[in-house]
């Protein structure tokens, strides 16, 4: 009966065992996972754009090759995640349609412009840094395919983060103008990076249920704090200032205190009104439409093979 199935599901989750695609699961659990995994996949794909803009303008062949490889990794992450969503019964075409029609979200962070090459370094350091903080615990998420996808994704993100930090270290050892570019990029990306973790816990409608289901392992605020604690010493070592006058070590708490992000800005960006939302979606839509012939050719090829014809 439904009741027994629910008990078995709860027991599995309670014992930190994995739920697998063929297992029974409550519809709310399935819907929450599809929502989160799709949003995550869309973020990886849209996330190719801000840095991708610098591939043709990278300052050396070495930097170009590195950036190319990084952006390609993001495409790979998107693909594993769409596959994970498919194991829950989601349809890939439908997810893409929801993204380009604005019905499904992607991370707010990718709606900010990349104004200089230092932004590439800062995205690696702060944005990939925040992504790692959020995603390492997701390796232990209760849904098997999502957790397993996260393992490889986190390894690659760690490499991306070091790549960004190394780029910034190099620029900080350069001219005063280069150091200013780094500081300017840090000033623009710091607050949006904190917003990646989502609204404050008191204003996060999904956290409690996702924690009970062990989809999420920590709350938004816990992960944001962890990110700040990890990043402050790295900023000191790099020689940049984080643009928050409220940032200071709190010995009593054993954590850094920090200022309040502009939550109204996060709401605006999530609801489609950030600096680059329209541009990002238009570009994704164009890529999808321009790729229609590839999908048609692949489908025709598959149909021919299925009919026993030779390709």
The token pair that represents 123 in the structure block: 């995205």
Cβ distance to ligand FAQ smaller for residue 217 or 288: 217
Beta carbon of residue 222, minimum distance to ligand FAQ (angstroms, whole number): 11
Smallest distance, ligand FAQ to C-beta of residue 48, A: 7
> Nearer Cβ to ligand FAQ, position 36 or 183?
36
Question: Residues in the site for ligand FAQ, rule: CB under 6 A?
Answer: 35-36, 39-40, 43-44, 47, 74, 105, 107-108, 123, 127-128, 131, 134, 195-199, 204-207, 210, 216, 220, 270
In the complex, minimum distance from the CB of residue 66 to ligand FAQ, in angstroms, rounded to a whole number: 14
List alpha helices for the chain, DSSP H: 2-14, 27-46, 48-52, 61-86, 92-100, 117-122, 128-135, 144-172, 176-195, 207-212, 220-238, 263-270, 277-290, 292-306
Closest CB to ligand FAQ among residues 73, 244: 73
Query: Considering beta carbons, is residue 34 or 171 the nearer one to ligand FAQ?
Result: 34
Give DSSP secondary structure letters for 164-200.
HHHHHHHHHTS-HHHHHHHHHHHHHHHHHHHHTT-S-
Q: How far is the CB of 248 from ligand FAQ (least distance, A)?
A: 25
18 is written with which tokens? 């994995």
Report the residue closest to ligand FAQ, judged by CB. Answer: 47
CB 112, CB 50: distance < 8 Å: yes
Nearest to 138 by CA among 154, 162, 155, 156: 154
Q: How far is the CB of 252 from ligand FAQ (least distance, A)?
A: 27
């Amino acid at each position: 009966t439904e009741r027994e199935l629910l008990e078995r599901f709860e027991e599995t989750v309670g014992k930190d065992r994995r739920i697998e695609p063929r297992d029974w699961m409550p519809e709310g659990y399935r819907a929450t996972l599809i929502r989160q995994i799709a949003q995550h996949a869309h973020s990886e794909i849209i996330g190719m754009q801000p840095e991708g803009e610098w591939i043709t303008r990278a300052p050396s062949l070495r930097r170009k090759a590195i950036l190319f490889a990084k952006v390609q990794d993001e495409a790979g992450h998107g693909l594993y995640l769409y596959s994970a969503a498919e194991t829950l019964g989601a349809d890939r075409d439908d997810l893409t349609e929801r993204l380009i029609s604005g019905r499904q979200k992607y991370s707010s962070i990718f709606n900010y412009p990349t104004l200089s090459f230092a932004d590439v370094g800062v995205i690696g350091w702060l944005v990939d840094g925040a992504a790692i903080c959020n995603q390492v615990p997701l390796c232990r998420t209760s849904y098997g395919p999502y957790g397993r996808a996260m393992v490889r994704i986190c390894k690659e993100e760690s490499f991306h983060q070091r790549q960004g930090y190394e780029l910034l270290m190099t620029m900080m050892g350069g001219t005063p103008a280069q150091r200013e570019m780094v500081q300017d990029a840090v000033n623009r990306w710091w607050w949006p990076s904190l917003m990646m973790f989502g609204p404050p816990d008191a204003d996060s409608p999904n956290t409690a249920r996702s924690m009970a289901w062990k989809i999420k392992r920590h709350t938004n605020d816990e992960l944001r704090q962890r990110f700040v604690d990890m990043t402050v010493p790295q900023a000191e070592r790099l020689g940049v200032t984080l643009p928050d006058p409220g940032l200071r070590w709190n010995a009593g708490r054993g954590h850094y205190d920090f200022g309040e992000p502009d939550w109204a800005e996060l709401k605006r960006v999530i609801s489609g009104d950030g600096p680059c939302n329209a541009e990002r979606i238009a570009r994704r839509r164009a890529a999808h439409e321009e790729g229609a012939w590839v999908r048609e050719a692949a489908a025709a090829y598959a149909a021919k093979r299925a009919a026993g014809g030779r390709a």
